[in-house]
Structure 1
């Protein structure tokens, strides 16, 4: 279901915008896909039979994986218009028992980890492959390729804090020119050798796999480069809706990609030496420099799309309690999705520069690329099939064959890429494992922390009755105690009463809750309930695409009869000092990792935008 905001925008404008954001990654794949399919590491001779076989595999991978799986099937699994691997995980767990929900959670977190691994490699391989076009012009440019790629990537990450709203308007038109150029270059190549069109017949792909046995299987590890970025179709659904994404794909992107790949195949048949860089050999000499510039712009746009995607995924993980609180800045007053997360941005910049300096060429990086993408593809198939079975109530007799059909494609792609682990494939796996470990440790640590707090909690009902019957000294004003759970007495309240021996004349227990939906309707945002003459409870609900704000909560409370005078209100927070112990829960090293993450997380006052001059923090020691 498309959001109301999307429905109000012209379809042509949304489709053009989708070109700029959704298809940047998959749209720059022609720069390196066929180059790697015929690379020296595979040793596939550029004969007519082999070229037609590879082209057929690429074409039908685009049709079956992107058109059938993602466009026709996965895009149906939306959460109020939003997509993405964590959204899919939440949907899959919504109607399953707890014993099934836990494995689905682990699958979703693995998919999220794979995405981070992919994001580190995408800007590096894309920009490098574009700048390497200078070498086709003249080998004299070779020493400058690496420094120029580093400069372009550094500039890309430096502009993130300023937002991309202004330059973002150029993304659609630039990518429109890019895809038009892909199509034109493809037609130019096909005209010289029309027999490449025989590759439309899937026979050539099947024949290639059958004839080459093990080598054909290995080739799948390079063929999959043609569909990297397919996950972006689903992740970016919330920005554009299904229909613009589908229109852009079927009427513009898919034809342009198919024509370009076939044109590259024609060039390879005409000149086998062109396998060193078939994309740039498609262009006449006079067009090489403009094409390198256009390709660099396209790869920067593709990189920007995945960077924005990782910002969105990180915010969603924070809101769902999978990562600690971080500073999240909005870079646009008009677009809620334009955010910037400094720590993620700088971590990505350092990682990408290290990767570029370490691998030094797009061909070397191709070995690392693919395993994260195909791993996410397998997970997406499993989670979407669960959604179809449990949420959409499709019969198992329909879901199981569909799942089997997808896995017949996904698993061989993943297995072929798994063989590249020692040639760079370890990189996204290491990154993915690190992110997975951080997410699972933070989530489990929070669960244990809440368990420990609950053990020490005093029942709220009996406490309030006692306070109202035998009141302590009361002072003017309102005290707001932020608590992560609605059960039991907040530790900050207990410590305040114990040490200061006073209580404000009005006490509000406020809990911020995250939900699995992207947005919470305004009328459902805040729930106010009166517990006694002087005690109130406030529960505020936020979706994973929203930013909690105490000021907004206070405004909503006033509409329900609970009016705050901010200058007479104090906010009390509990600051827990964690101590690692031998108690059952987590391994000691994970407890220490959780403690480190907690120390470096954003303070609650900043995350919830609480006025710092109205905050009182009270400490508590908690044994994990």
Structure 2
């Protein structure tokens, strides 16, 4: 796309130069040559300057987690010490090939292609699949949604039988749809689990460096200092990351420069022959010597990939090319040198494996590295916490999470959000995990399960995208499954072996989150289908509106409802108790589409409810899953007037076409009775009448707004299980869902509705 823009700009400049010289009577080729030579060079320079700037910024946001993994990988792998000197080469070889295969090949060069209009993450992949195949369980879908520009997919022209077959299976199987949603929820839950374990293990590993300087520091003191840092970290989340974000990249650049430089130093000083670990035979020898113990140790090796999911989840803040540049030029080489240097040190100091990172530092660099490592661990924690806020916001928008307050912390970056309830729950979880486990070894057992589960689920969704959307050659798909899929499956079996040693924690944590998400989504769908079945018919609406006992008062009434295809039953419930309606009624539905962002000009979708004289409208306010819902009163009124004008203009065009067709028919039949002047006069009168109607309608809206303002009617529907419902359904609706609803934010807080002009209308639904 960038090259196309450059070429278009080049062509425009050349034409401008040509025209100018022709007017002056000079030779146009001289001006064309100069401009054509300089313009593309300037544009290319600006383009690459922008990309390199993004690449630099991405270092501070994306790589904090994977960049701090050298703090604990070797200690988490050799939990029982080093039995053989060549085991270090085997583990180093595993680390080198794992880093190359998963973060570099899989994420940087394959998964980053599966973005949803530039956004990444589990929900982005799910939304991509939902847009191509009709597998979404969200009931508020409309045919008009597919007309949104971001909704469309650019697909290859060649259709393959396998892709069509897979699409058909997904669309026709309710089990497949539910299973796909559960996979997405599980992946989301595991990423949230990452945000609990990343701060714990990163900060605890960094603070543990004090032990190398003084023996007076006990384990409990290290845990206490770590907890204090974690609490401060979460307390500052409400200020947002915008103000401190600019310092992240320089700090992590210093971190990567130091660990790579120290790695080179250790290689030269201790054992230059350690580079032979590039030979995979050392992996084979390692497994042959240690057998089951080698397989168990994979749970520690896989921690070198922690944060790889952030490469994909945070791509929306940068670009694919900038992430590829920063990964290949800075992060990957620095990590390779850091792990190789630690391995070279351990070849001579095998007893120092429990604290390999700090033990391998040159003496004078201990305290500087201690300070930088604390900052780097905080940055790694910050990136995962911010990512969790973003992920929960996505799941909230798609109806898969209970209502929580989303605070937009930056005026310039939409992705920077803060969720108070989630922040304090994460802080509590981090403090409990740090205080309960106390060591990086035990936390690493739990951390590995979350990391590998997320990678495996991403691969599963990616295979669906490769077959169904990209229509990749089946042999390439099989190669991906056999090479990368089998490696991830091997790591998964290893981390699950540590289930009783801490691996149960992320699974239990994810089970709780998934239960909450599934309960909310299930009852949300049931409630929507109930409203759809009991919606008010147009005839009934006309009967209600023309009731002589019902008075119309000036003002605009906005009735909020989740229903996007009809009038909700709660409206009739309101009218039967309060026999008064405002002069203009707008039924507003706020919905999220399975795309990251909706263009502002396509956000509002209006429908007129017949008959016209009732002045009743339906308005669907559409958001993407990455957008924050803001107050939209004035914009809605302006868009309503634009809709009225557009409606009458379309009516004018339609009538004009009908008159033209009638005139042609009369002419063909030899029945021409009117002159052209008469027709022009009639058309002019009709146009003036339509214009008058448009003005009257707009005046009516302005009068209503000035006289009575805008009143917001929020439907607060209570749900209970019907009498014939099963025991499981009663527990799901009466206890679980209603408990969540009563203890979380109300809709007016989430949608920023002013309290002074808000009325709640309550009704009970029996599901």
User: Which category of TM-score, normalised to the shorter sequence, fits these structures?
Assistant: over 0.9
Distance 1:273 1:601 in 2: 52
1:187 alignment partner in structure 2: 264
**Structure 1 residue 7: Cα displacement:** 7.1
Residue 24 (str. 1) matches residue 166 (str. 2): no
Q: 1:571 to 1:586 in 2, by over 3 A?
A: farther
Moved more, 481-490 or 112-121: 481-490
Q: Which residue does the alignment assign to 1:560?
A: 643
Matched, 1:372 2:450: yes
* Residue segments in structure 1 that go unaligned for 5+ positions in a row: none
Aligned to 1:409: 487
Q: Higher mean Cα deviation, 474-483 or 50-59? A: 474-483
Most deviating of 296-305 and 356-365: 356-365
**Structure-2 residue corresponding to 1:615:** 758
For residue 553 of structure 1, report the CA deviation from its aligned partner. 3.4
In the TM superposition, residue 585 of structure 1 has moved relative to its aligned partner by: 9.7
Shift of 1:473: 2.4
Does structure 1 residue 163 correspond to structure 2 residue 163? no
Cα distance, 1:496 vs structure 2: 2.2
Q: Considering only aligned residues, what root-mean-square deviation do their CA atoms show, in Å?
A: 2.0
SS at 2:761's partner residue?
A: strand
How far apart in 2 are the matches of 1:213 and 1:276?
A: 22
2 CA distance for matches of 1:183 and 1:49? 23
Show the counterpart of 2:597.
519
| CA distance in 2: counterparts of 1:606 and 1:585, whole angstroms | 33
TM-score (ref. length: structure 2) = 0.78
Q: Tell me the residue number matched to 1:198.
A: 276
Partner of 2:204: 128
Residue equivalent to 2:584: 506
Could you give the per-residue CA deviations for residues 217-248 of structure 1, whole angstroms, max 9, x where no partner exists? 11111100111111110000001111111111
Give, in whole Å, the separation in 2 of the partners of 1:399 and 1:56. 26
Query: What does residue 64 of structure 1 align with?
Result: 101
**1:12 matched residue in structure 2:** 52
Q: Which residue, 229, 234, 242 being the options, matches 2:307? A: 229
| Structure with max Cα Rg | 2
CA displacement, residues 479-523 of structure 1 (integer Å, 9 cap, x when unaligned) = 221111123432332122101222222211111111011100122
1:188-337 equivalent positions in 2, closer than 5 A? 188-192=265-269, 193-337=271-415
Structure 2 Cα separation of the partners of residues 613 and 596 of structure 1: 27
Q: Distance in 2 between matches of 1:506 and 1:10?
A: 49
Residue of structure 1 aligned with 2:227, choices 150, 155, 168: 150
Q: Using the alignment, how far apart are the partners of 1:8 and 1:287 within structure 2?
A: 36
Equivalence for 2:737 = 594
Q: CA deviation at 1:284?
A: 1.7
SS in 2 for 1:587: helix
Partners of 1:243 and 1:252 in 2: CA distance: 14
Per-residue deviation, 1:400: 2.8
User: CA shift at 1:318, angstroms?
Assistant: 0.7
What is the deviation of 1:17?
Answer: 1.2
Q: CA deviation at 1:8?
A: 9.7
| 4+ residue runs over 6 A deviation | 6-9
Return the match for 1:357 from 431, 435, 443: 435
Task: Work out the CA distance in 2 between the residues paired with 1:240 and 1:568.
Answer: 42
Pair 1:34 & 2:117 matched: no
Select which of 550, 554, 564 maps to 1:486: 564
Partner of residue 571 from structure 1, selected from 712, 729, 732: 712
Q: Deviations over 1:396-436 (max 9, x none)?
A: 33323322322111101011000011001111111111111
Cα deviation for residue 352 of structure 1 reads: 0.4
1:546 maps to 2:689? no
Unaligned runs of 5+ in 2: 6-45, 134-166, 645-697
After superposing the two structures, state which structure 1 stretch, 604-613 or 31-40, moved more: 604-613
3-state SS, counterpart of residue 429 of structure 2? helix
Deviates more, 1:514-523 or 1:466-475: 466-475
Q: Are the equivalent residues in 2 in contact too, given 1:163–1:340 (CA < 8 A)?
A: yes
CA contact 1:267–1:274 (8 Å) conserved in 2: no
Using the alignment, how far apart are the partners of 2:618 and 2:444 within structure 1? 55
Describe the SS at the equivalent of 1:166.
coil
In structure 1, C-alpha distance between the alignment counterparts of 2:250 and 2:578, rounded to whole Å: 64
Q: Does 1:88 align with 2:118?
A: no
Distance (Å, rounded) in 1 between the aligned partners of 2:374 and 2:637 = 48
- Paired residues of 1:573 and 1:617 also in contact (CA < 8 A): yes
Contact 1:319 1:544 in 2 (8 A): yes
